């Protein structure tokens, strides 16, 4: 497989007009792929962005490069939200932790679609080892430790154990598809397993 860059945004600076065009293409691509799936043609992205197809390919030489850039843009926004939750220092650490997990699970379905499309094209996206991955793990660790200190989450849980559980539940929620009740039930079961037992609660 072809390894992808750690983050497509980490490139040489662009001129102001080029940055605007790139942002328009990314926004249009995210909207098009959300509405029509990752298989939507690049020409449709160009049309929605109001630019020529040549402009799209100047910034993103391949469809895979565009998919990767949209994926990382979504992940950056999610990590920014996680770090904002850390900075807010909520008076309800348990609530902040479980809200964050809910957001992660909701975001994962769209993220998985990009990963699958890129993997099918032979592209490896090493998000876990990127700066985004490191920031996400750091934010998760802070929110988890605060929730544990407040007695809202079982004390024996480590971040490394939590991540595969979240990924598994995200897949279960994705599998449930339009069945909202089933998705909510899967998340509820996860949350119940993360809370301390009756004897551990303060």
Residue linked to tokens 């809910």: 102
Maximal C-alpha separation, the chain: 64
What's the alpha-carbon Rg for the chain, to the nearest Å? 19
Give me the pLDDT at residue 111, please: 76
Is 123 in a helix, a strand, or coil?
strand
Apex 52 CA angle, 46 and 58, nearest 5: 90
Q: Which residues of the chain have pLDDT under 50?
A: 1-6, 10
As beta bridge partners, residue 3 has 124
Give me the pLDDT at residue 3, please: 45
Give me the pLDDT at residue 40, please: 92
Give me the pLDDT at residue 59, please: 92
């Amino acid at each position: 497989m072809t390894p992808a860059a750690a983050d497509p945004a980490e490139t040489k600076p662009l001129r102001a007009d080029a940055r605007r065009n790139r942002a328009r293409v990314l926004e249009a691509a995210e909207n098009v792929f959300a509405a029509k799936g990752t298989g939507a043609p690049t020409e449709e992205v160009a049309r929605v962005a109001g630019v020529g197809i040549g402009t799209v390919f100047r910034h993103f030489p391949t469809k895979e490069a565009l998919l990767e850039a949209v994926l990382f843009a979504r992940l950056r926004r999610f990590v920014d939200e996680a770090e904002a939750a850390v900075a807010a220092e909520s008076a309800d650490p348990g609530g902040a932790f479980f809200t964050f997990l809910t957001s992660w699970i909701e975001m994962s379905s769209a993220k998985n679609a990009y990963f699958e499309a890129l993997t099918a094209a032979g592209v490896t996206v090493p998000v876990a080892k990127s700066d985004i991955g490191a920031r996400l793990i750091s934010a998760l660790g802070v929110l988890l430790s605060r929730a544990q200190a407040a007695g809202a989450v079982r004390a024996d849980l480590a971040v490394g154990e939590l991540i595969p559980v979240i990924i598994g539940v995200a897949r279960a929620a994705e599998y449930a598809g339009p069945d909202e009740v089933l998705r909510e039930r899967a998340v509820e079961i996860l949350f119940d397993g993360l809370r301390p037992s009756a004897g551990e609660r303060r």
